[in-house]
Amino acid sequence: MTIKTEPAKSEPSHQKLLTIDSELSQVKIAAKAVRKISNSLSFKSVDSGQIELALVESVTNCIEHSYGYQSGNLIDIEYKISDVELEVSVIDDGPPAPKLTSKLASETDAISQLNLTELNIDSLPDSGWGVMLIKSLCDNVTYSRGNNRNILTLIFALSPRSKESHTQEA
Amino acid sequence: MNYAMEISGNLATITPSNNRFDAYLAPEFRDTVNDAIEKSATNITVDMRNVLFIDSSGLGSIVSCHKLLQSANGIQLVNVNKDVREIFRLTHMDKIFDLNQCSPDQDGNLAA
């Protein structure tokens, strides 16, 4: 999950992508915006669909856990593209999320530990797949607090090919 | 109405009309399956031909309905898009569901 990064010559800054309301019907708007960004790049090991899914899981997690499905709250989506990675941050005004911290810090990849057969389908969870998916889809994930806000950052490594692609499009 | 339902005897086919099967639409899917069960359906097929994106809530709703129908035939998925299959593979759900089936014939038999 950890990426080795080389020092960038000039550190790019985060850019605001959009702000959505904390409603499940709004998630697809954020998904579409992130897909547009990721479609402009090529990735070595992940595709735009995986980035979109990680973002959707993160925003849905916000709406559920930070805001308890209450609309009327804001969720900011920011991104940063460097020579080596794409960062997408999902920022909300909810209370601190210690559960999320421990889930992200856990060394256990619950998905890979599942032993799925028809015989044990009863043990399958109906929910709680979101963070597991986020961890599987991203090269790295960080959670922090800043200005009393939750900041979940999804990091996707870029391949050398994508660097060229980005330079050409910039 | 984001899900179309056809019932014939104990066979029900549910077709999501939206191309996203996510947290916003998953509760309505559960309601539709419950409606089919109340109408005596025990063999439920979900035709995924329109679905291009699924998230963990969509997956979770399919799993919970599959559990609900486990004593009967569970949920059968047909016409699953390549990208959606990839999410099933990532979560190992491809070991639970046969993702290579096409639409059922008039007798409800599923063709690979």
Question: pLDDT, tens digit, for every residue of B1-24?
Answer: 899 999 999 999 999 999 999 999
Residue found under tokens 């499940």: A24
| Burial per residue of A67-84, b for 16 or more beta-carbon CB atoms within 10 angstroms, e otherwise | beeeeebebbbbbbbbbb
Distance CA(B112)–CA(B103), nearest Å, equals 9
Is B21 in a helix, a strand, or coil?
strand
Give burial (CB, 10 Å; 0-12/13-18/19+) of B47: buried
DSSP letter string over A118-150?
A: GGGGGGS-SS-HHHHHHHHH-SEEEEEEETTEE
Summarize pLDDT for A63-75 with one digit per residue, the tens: 999 999 999 999 9
> What is the Cα gyration radius of chain A?
17
Distance (Å) from the C-alpha of residue B80 to the closest C-alpha of chain A? 16
- B71 membership: H or E segment, kind and range: none
Per the CB < 8 Å rule, is B90 touching A133?
yes
Interface of A with B (CB under 8 A): 24-25, 27-28, 31, 49, 52-53, 56-57, 60, 63-64, 111, 114, 116-118, 121-122, 124-127, 129-130, 132-133, 136-137
Query: Which of these, B99, B42, B45, lies nearest to B68 by C-alpha position?
Result: B42
Tell me which of B24, B55, B86 to substitute to probe the interface with A (most A C-beta atoms closer than 10 Å): B55
pLDDT per residue rounded down to tens, chain A (170 residues) = 555 555 555 677 889 999 999 999 999 999 999 999 888 876 555 578 899 999 999 999 999 999 999 999 999 999 999 888 999 999 999 999 988 888 888 755 556 656 555 546 777 777 778 898 999 899 999 999 999 999 999 999 886 554 444 444 33
User: pLDDT band for position B33 (50/70/90)?
Assistant: very high
DSSP letter string over A38-85?
A: HHTS--SS--HHHHHHHHHHHHHHIIIIITTT-SS-EEEEEEEE-SSE
